[in-house]
Amino acid sequence: ETGVTQSPTHLIKTRGQQVTLRCSSQSGHNTVSWYQQALGQGPQFIFQYYREEENGRGNFPPRFSGLQFPNYSSELNVNALELDDSALYLCASSSGTSGSTGELFFGEGSRLTVL
């Protein structure tokens, strides 16, 4: 059984650029959530995808968007990068939707630096 894998692990972008982060969910999981963890802070919920549909969104602007594919892997896209977007982006997979008590399994994250 493979765990949650994220790529790339580290990347550097400049302001105004666009970035795509990728996540492969754990085998058997159909739900993927994305979180942003700024330095010294707790993770903040960006959004969740269940069976390829967005199933909840946090307080992030529309330039943060996502996709989930039929194999339940997911992408997080951020357009028009700002300096404050520098953070560790965490992907978590689980089984079921918000009505379930499914445990979240986190990947090791993608660290984005915006210069």
Partner 1 sequence: AQSVTQLDSQVPVFEEAPVELRCNYSSSVSVYLFWYVQYPNQGLQLLLKYLSGSTLVESINGFEAEFNKSQTSFHLRKPSVHISDTAEYFCAVRSRGASKLTFGTGTRLQVTL
Closer Cβ to partner 1, 15 or 52, answer by number: 52
Can residue 55 be called a binding residue for partner 1 (CB under 8 A)?
Answer: yes
Can residue 27 be called a binding residue for partner 1 (CB under 8 A)?
Answer: no
Closer Cβ to partner 1, 66 or 109, answer by number: 109
Can residue 109 be called a binding residue for partner 1 (CB under 8 A)?
Answer: yes
Q: Contacting partner 1 (CB under 8 A), which of 44, 65, 73, 95?
A: 44
Closer Cβ to partner 1, 82 or 108, answer by number: 108
Q: In angstroms, what is the C-alpha Rg of the chain?
A: 13
Cα–Cα distance for residue pair 100/102, rounded to 1 Å: 5
Sign of the torsion formed by the C-alpha atoms of 70, 71, 73 and 75: negative
Let me know how long the chain is: 115
Nearest 10 degrees: CA dihedral of 98, 53, 34, 112? -170
Can residue 112 be called a binding residue for partner 1 (CB under 8 A)?
Answer: no
Rounded to a whole number of angstroms, the minimum distance from the CB of residue 75 to partner 1 is: 18
Tokens encoding 51: 């069976």
Upstream peptide bond of 8 is cis (omega within 30 degrees of 0): yes
Positions that interact with partner 1 (CB under 8 A): 4, 33, 35, 40-45, 48, 55-56, 58, 90, 92, 97-99, 101, 103-109
